[in-house]
Chain A
C-alpha cells in the first residue's frame, strides 16, 4: 500500500542529518568533559542542604547600599540603551546599503558592529578596566559597546527590509535621497527600531548585573562581594531582587510592545 507522507521526505532526511551531527558533538563533549548528568541528581542532598540552609531565608543586609546599587544598575542599563540607540541610528543609516552615501563605509560599519557584538560584554569589561579602572564608567561603556554592535545590525536589517519595498517606487517618481529617508524610511521603520530598543533594554537589564559583578559597579559588585564573603543569605536576597527587577522590566516592555507598537 502506498502511503502519503505527512512530512516531506527531504525535511525528514535533513532532520536526521542534523540529529546525527548533534549526537556526535554531544558524545565528543561528554567524553571530553567527563560529565555525568546523573551525578548531580545523585548528590541532590548536598544541593538541598545548600539551598535550604545556606540560601534561604534570603535577607537584605544593608538596604540603603542595595537600593543605591539597584538604582545605579538600572540607570546604567537605561542610559546604555538610550545612548547606543542614538549612535547606532546614525551608524545604521550610514551602514545600510539603501541609504549609505558611500558604499565602502557599509563594510567598515558592519565589521565594526560585528566586532562589538561578538565579544561578550563581560570580556569588554575586562578590556576596559585596563584603561578606565573599576567603576560604573566601565560597566556603562561595556554595555554601550555591545548594545551598539547589536543595534547597528538590527537597525540595518530593519532599514533594508523597509527600503527594499519602497525604494524603487519612490525613486521612479523622482524623490530625492533625503526625502526618501525622512518621509518613508524613518516613519516606516520606527516601530521596528523601537521594538529593538525595547529588546536591548531587556538584555541590558540582565547583563548590567553581570558586567557589574566583574568590576562594573552597581548591584552586581555588591552581590559578588557577598558571595565571596560566603554571606549567601544576603546574596540570595540581592539575587531575588534582581530577578524581580528583570520580571518587572519584561512585563513593562511587553505591555509597551502591545500598546505602542501594535
Chain B
C-alpha cells in the first residue's frame, strides 16, 4: 500500500515538494493538480464537451447566416407587433360553439389515434424487441421500415392520407396513427429490451410459453415506461391533431387558420386560448400522475 502511494505521489505530487500530510492522504482514483490539490475537473472527460459546444456554436452561427434572414422584414415586423396585439386583443366569443365542437373533434381524433396506435405499436414492438422477436431478421426489417415511417412528420402523413380518403376526421386519425404506431413500437421495444435476460431465461426454464412470459413478466415490468410513453405520445398527438387543420384537415386548427384568413382575429384568439388551456390541463394531469407513480414506488 505504501509502495502504491509512493508511486502515486511521484506521479502527482508537485516537484517543489508538498507537505508530507497531503501526500499521505493521496488516494488512487483522484486527480491532483501541480500544487498537490485535488482536481475537481477531469481534463480528459471535459475535453469532449467544450469541443462539442464550440462545434455547435460554429455551425449555429453559420446557420444564422445561411438562413438568409431578412433583417428589414424582421425590424418591420417588430414595429408591427403592437398593432397585431391590439387586433388580437379584441376577443370575440361569437363562434364559441363551433370552436368548442372543433376542439372536441381534435380531442376525439387524438384519443382514437392514440388508442389504435397503442394497440398496433404494442403488437409490432413484440416483433421489434430483440429479446422477444421470434426471428432476428423480422426485427431488423421492421426497424428499418419504422424508422422511415417515423422520419416523416405526422402532419405530412395526414396530408397524404387526406388525398386518399378525403376531408374528415378519418384522414387525421389514419395519418397520426401511421406516425404514432411507429413511435410506440420503437419506444415499447426499448422498454421490453430493458427487461433483464435472466428473468426471461428463468421463466423459459420453468417452461413458460412466449405468450405467458410476455403477459406476466415483460408487460408488468415495462408498465411504468409504457405509461410514460403513452402520455408523451398523447400530448404529441394532440399537438398534431390541433394543427392538422391548418393544412386543410378538420379540427380546431381549421378554425384558427380560417379565422386568420378572414381577418377575424378575435375568434382565432378564442380558439388558441382553448388549445392552450387544454394542453395546460393535460400537462398538469400527466405531471401529477407521474409524481404519484414516483411516490408510490
Task: Name the contact of A35 in the complex, choosing from B66, B112, B155, B243 (C-beta under 8 A).
Answer: B112
Q: Which B residues are closer than 8 A to A by beta carbons?
A: 40-41, 48-49, 51-53, 56-57, 59-64, 66-70, 73-74, 76-78, 80-81, 83-84, 87-88, 104-105, 107-109, 111-112, 115-116, 147-148, 151-153, 155-156, 159-160, 163-165, 169-170, 173-174, 216-217, 220, 223, 239, 242-243, 246-247, 253, 256-257, 260, 265, 268, 272, 275-276, 279-280, 283
A33 engages B155 (CB within 8 Å)? no
One of A100-108, A119-127, A167-175 at the interface: A119-127
Which among A79, A81, A123 is the interface contact of B67 at CB below 8 angstroms? A79
For chain A residues 203-246, which have a beta carbon within 8 Å of chain B? 206-207, 209-210, 213-214, 223-224, 227, 232, 239, 242-244, 246
B108 close to A78 (CB less than 8 A): no
In the complex, are the beta carbons of A127 and B276 less than 8 A apart? no
Which 4 residue pairs of A and B lie closest in terms of their CB atoms, listed nearest first? A82-B60, A132-B77, A75-B63, A78-B63
Residues of chain B within 8 A (CB-CB) of A129 are 260
Given contacts A50-B163, A72-B67, contact A6 B216 (CB under 8 A): yes
- The 24 sampled A-B contact pairs (Cβ below 8 Å) are A6-B216, A29-B109, A29-B111, A33-B105, A35-B169, A54-B163, A72-B68, A78-B60, A79-B63, A82-B61, A120-B275, A122-B253, A123-B275, A126-B246, A131-B80, A131-B83, A132-B74, A132-B76, A132-B77, A137-B69, A140-B67, A140-B69, A190-B49, A206-B153
Q: What CA separation (Å) do A119 and B246 show in the bound complex?
A: 14
Distance between Cα atoms of A25 and B114 in the complex (Å): 11
Task: Specify which chain B residues have a CB less than 8 angstroms from the CB of A213 in the assembled complex.
Answer: 155, 247
Q: How far is the CA of A35 from the CA of B48 in the complex (A)?
A: 52
Q: Tell me if A65 is interfacial: C-beta within 8 Å of chain B.
A: no
CB pair B73 A242 closer than 8 Å: no
Question: Assuming A33-B112, A46-B164, A136-B70, what are 5 further A-B pairs, CB within 8 angstroms?
Answer: A11-B220, A43-B165, A50-B163, A128-B77, A242-B156
Within 8 Å CB of B239, what residues of A? Answer: 120
Kindly provide the distance from the CB of A235 to the nearest chain B CB, expressed in whole angstroms: 8
Contact with B along A5-38 (1 / 0, CB 8 A): 0110001000100000010011011101101010
Question: B48: which of A39, A43, A246, A259 is its contact (CB, 8 Å)?
Answer: A259
- For residue A57, CB closer than 8 A to chain B, the reply is no
Instruction: Assess whether A137 is in contact with B73, with CB atoms less than 8 Å apart.
Output: yes
Whole-angstrom CA separation of A223 from B62 in the bound complex: 25
Interface size on A, residues (CB 8 A): 79
* B169 close to A133 (CB less than 8 A): no
Set of chain A residues within 8 Å of B160, measured between Cβ atoms: 55, 239
Cα(A75)–Cα(B49), bound, Å: 22
CB distance from B38 to the nearest CB of A (A): 14
What residues of B have a CB within 8 angstroms of the CB of A247 in the complex? 147-148, 151
Q: How far is the CA of A256 from the CA of B52 in the complex (A)?
A: 8
Q: Given A33-B109, A115-B276 in contact, is the A214-B247 Cβ separation under 8 Å?
A: yes
A81 CB contact (under 8 Å) in B40, B60, B116, B246: B60
Q: When the two chains form the complex, which single residue of B170, B243, B256 contacts A210, counting CB atoms closer than 8 Å?
A: B243
Interface residues of A in 118-175 (CB under 8 A from B): 118-120, 122-123, 126-133, 135-137, 140
Q: How many Å lie between the Cα of A31 and that of B296 in the bound state?
A: 36
**Cα separation A198 to B115 with both chains bound (whole Å):** 29
Decide: B257 and A214 in contact? CB cutoff 8 A. Answer: yes
Please give, as numbers and ranges, the residues of chain B lying within 8 Å of A22 by CB-CB distance: 115
In the assembled complex, how far is the CB of residue B70 from the closest CB belonging to chain A, in whole angstroms? 6
Q: What is the minimal beta-carbon distance from B43 to any residue of chain A, in angstroms?
A: 13
> A181 on the interface (CB 8 Å rule)?
no
Contact status of A79 and B64, CB under 8 A, knowing A122-B246, A123-B242: yes
Query: Is A185 engaged at the interface, CB distance under 8 Å to the other chain?
Result: no
User: Residue on A with the closest CB to B171?
Assistant: A40
The interface residues of chain A lying within 8 Å CB-to-CB of B151 are 242-244, 246-247, 250
User: B170–A194 contact, CB under 8 A?
Assistant: no
Given contacts A126-B257, A213-B155, A11 and B223 within 8 Å (CB-CB)? yes
Report the separation of the CA atoms of residues A246 and B284 in the bound assembly, to the nearest whole angstrom: 30
The 8 Å CB contact of B70, one of A137, A244, A259, is A137
Cross-chain contact B73 with A133 (CB below 8 angstroms): yes
Chain A min CB distance to B188 (Å): 16
CB-based contact A35/B173 at 8 Å: yes
CA distance A136 to B66 in the complex (A): 11
Contact of A7 among B74, B155, B220, B260 (CB under 8 A): B220
State the CA gap A45–B151 with chains docked (Å). Answer: 25
Residues in A with CB closer than 8 Å to B73 are 132-133, 135, 137
Is the CB–CB distance between A32 and B108 below 8 Å? yes
Q: Is the CB of B70 within 8 A of A126?
A: no
Whether B77 and A243, one on each chain, are in contact in the complex, defined by CB atoms closer than 8 angstroms, is no
